[in-house]
């Protein structure tokens, strides 16, 4: 399976993540230029950076992607709808939205379903597609299964494991996260409708990480290590196109 992949096909699995809170405009511009150079699927930016990304990527086949309610999903539904709609209209046809994690953990599924549905409707009406971020580190398997069912019923384009910023307090008092685990990717693939794709994000730092996520059902990867991954694919002799 893997030896038939090309470097371009690997690149087209990647949303190049430019979401660190300290990123300056110069860093975002540099990241968008890298995304364009490597012809990845998208450059994933914060909402205020959409127009910059759109202008840098113009004329290429790389799309801007915007995050909504990021990273903790706690904005009101109305604000998330407006934020998502405005991002699409500003030039980001792909939207990654964080669920309200507290509502998921609390089992308020009517709220969760309504929010996802309203945001998806707004994004699709504006000409975009929606990816729903679960933030799996905070969730039990039962929550993930139910979210997959909700997203399948609503008909979103993708479900996504993590923001990469869902840090959980550890026994030693420090904070860390697991991100995209193979167990969670398989669980999501098994419990989503076939039309719903899976995006793995958080901890995908090498070509082998990407290939393992792909084997577990992911068709899109969120990564900051884009250049490392693609240079490794070239070095290992994957065909260019």
The pLDDT, as a whole number, for residue 166 is 80
The pLDDT, as a whole number, for residue 213 is 98
Catalytic one of 46, 131, 160, 209: 160
Decide if 222 is inside a domain.
Answer: yes
**Residue 212 in tokens:** 């393992």
The pLDDT, as a whole number, for residue 3 is 56
DSSP 8-class letter at 173:
S
Decide if 217 is inside a domain.
Answer: yes
Catalytic one of 96, 131, 137, 209: 96
Decide if 241 is inside a domain.
Answer: no
Decide if 153 is inside a domain.
Answer: yes
The pLDDT, as a whole number, for residue 7 is 97
- Sequence-separated (6 or more) residues with CB below 8 Å from residue 122: 81, 84, 85
The pLDDT, as a whole number, for residue 178 is 84
Give the total number of structural domains in the chain.
1
Decide if 166 is inside a domain.
Answer: yes
Which run of H or of E encompasses 111?
A: helix 109-125
Decide if 204 is inside a domain.
Answer: yes
Catalytic one of 80, 137, 199, 209: 199
Torsion-angle region of 164 (φ positive above 0: left; ψ -120 to 50: alpha; else: beta): left
82 phi and psi, to 5 degrees?
-65, -45
| Residue showing tokens 């209209």 | 89
178 carries an active-site annotation: no
160 carries an active-site annotation: yes
199 carries an active-site annotation: yes
Decide if 67 is inside a domain.
Answer: yes
Q: What is the CATH number of the domain that holds 153?
A: 3.20.20.70
41 phi and psi, to 5 degrees?
-70, -55
Domain extent for 168: 2-235
Decide if 240 is inside a domain.
Answer: no
pLDDT string in tens for the chain (241-residue length): 455 799 999 999 999 999 999 999 999 999 999 999 999 999 999 999 999 999 999 999 999 999 999 999 999 999 999 999 999 999 999 999 999 999 999 999 999 999 999 999 999 999 999 999 999 999 999 999 999 999 999 999 999 999 988 876 778 777 778 889 999 999 999 999 999 999 999 999 999 999 999 999 999 999 999 999 999 999 999 998 8
Identify any residues that bridge with 132 across adjacent strands, giving them in sequence order.
Answer: 97, 159
Are 88 and 65 spatial neighbours (Cβ–Cβ below 8 Å)? no
């Amino acid at each position: 399976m893997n030896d038939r992949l090309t470097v371009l096909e690997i690149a087209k699995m990647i949303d190049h993540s430019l979401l660190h809170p300290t990123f300056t405009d110069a860093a975002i511009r540099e990241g968008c230029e890298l995304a364009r150079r490597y012809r990845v699927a998208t450059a994933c930016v914060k909402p205020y950076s959409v127009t910059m990304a759109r202008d840098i990527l113009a004329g290429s086949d790389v799309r801007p992607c915007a995050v909504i309610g990021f990273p903790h999903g706690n904005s009101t539904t109305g604000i998330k709808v407006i934020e998502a709609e405005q991002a699409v209209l500003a030039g980001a046809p792909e939207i990654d939205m964080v669920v309200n994690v507290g509502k998921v953990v609390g089992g308020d599924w009517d709220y969760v379903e309504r929010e996802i549905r309203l945001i998806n409707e707004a994004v699709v009406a504006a000409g975009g597609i929606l990816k729903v971020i679960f933030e799996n580190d905070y969730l039990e398997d039962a929550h993930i299964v139910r979210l997959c069912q909700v997203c399948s019923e609503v008909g979103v384009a993708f479900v996504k494991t993590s923001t990469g910023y869902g840090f959980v307090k550890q026994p030693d008092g420090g904070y860390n996260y697991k991100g995209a685990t193979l167990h969670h990717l398989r669980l999501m693939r098994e419990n989503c409708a076939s039309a719903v794709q899976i995006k793995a994000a958080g901890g995908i730092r090498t070509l082998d990480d990407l290939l393992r996520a792909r084997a577990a059902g992911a068709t899109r990867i969120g990564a900051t290590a884009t250049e490392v991954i693609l240079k490794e694919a070239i070095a290992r002799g994957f065909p260019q196109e």
